[in-house]
Each structure stands twice: as C-alpha cells, then as structure tokens.
Amino acid sequence: AQSVTQLGSHVSVSEGALVLLRCNYSSSVPPYLFWYVQYPNQGLQLLLKYTTGATLVKGINGFEAEFKKSETSFHLTKPSAHMSDAAEYFCAVTNTGGFKTIFGAGTRLFVKA
C-alpha cells in the first residue's frame, strides 16, 4: 500500500526566506510524485510532478522538488518566499501500475511580512 506523510501541518516563514515543505512516501513500486497547491476556497492546482528521469523537478512559481529514492522523500523548496505563496500544499503519490492518487494531510504555509 502507498502512503504519504507530510511533516508539519503548519509552516511559517518570513518573506524572502527559504521555503521547505517536507514529504515522505512509501510505495512498493516506483512512484509518481506530485505537489499541489490550494488557495482559499479553490480546488487544487499542480505545482510540479516527478514521473521518471531527472530527480530535480522544477515547477511553477519558482518551486522545485527533489526525488530522493534512498530517503523516500520528495521535499518542496523555494529559495525566497513571497506573500502570495501563502496557501496549503499537498504532496501526493501514485504508482506506475495504477491511477489512484494518495494525498498527504497537507501543510499550510504562512508567510510573514
């Protein structure tokens, strides 16, 4: 069975500081990994995804994530936080043999001026 663990339900950073949102997964087969962002009262939007190939994945709005198989991690980073980054972020996993996506519990990012 697959699962996703997001470390920290809330993360607070200052504007301009590094953003680091942690995600660990478990999967018995090679995973496909995703980060989604949800702004208030909206649906989820894809930030970035890893399927195969390069382990460092770049997404929209300056975010990137690195797939580390040995650590079963897919942490999301952004060098410099902006006020507009305040939102909830979800890590998700699916496997190459199926199509159902399993989501983490989410991390709410607060950005302080």
Partner 1 sequence: DAGITQSPRHKVTETGTPVTLRCHQTENHRYMYWYRQDPGHGLRLIHYSYGVKDTDKGEVSDGYSVSRSKTEDFLLTLESATSSQTSVYFCAISDVDLNTEAFFGQGTRLTVV
Footprint on this chain of partner 1 (rule: CB under 8 A): 4, 6, 9, 32, 34, 36, 41-46, 49, 51, 90, 94, 96, 98-106
Measured from the CB atom, the residue of 34 and 78 that comes closer to partner 1 is: 34
Residues with Cβ within 8 Å of residue 59, at least 6 apart in sequence: 35, 46, 47, 48, 49, 65
- What are the backbone dihedrals phi and psi of residue 15, each rounded to the nearest 5 degrees, phi first? -60, 135
Measured from the CB atom, the residue of 34 and 63 that comes closer to partner 1 is: 34
Measured from the CB atom, the residue of 19 and 37 that comes closer to partner 1 is: 37
- Apex 13 CA angle, 102 and 35, nearest 5: 20
Q: How far is the CB of 104 from partner 1 (least distance, A)?
A: 5
Q: Cα(58)–Cα(62) distance, rounded to whole angstroms?
A: 7
Q: How far is the CB of 36 from partner 1 (least distance, A)?
A: 8
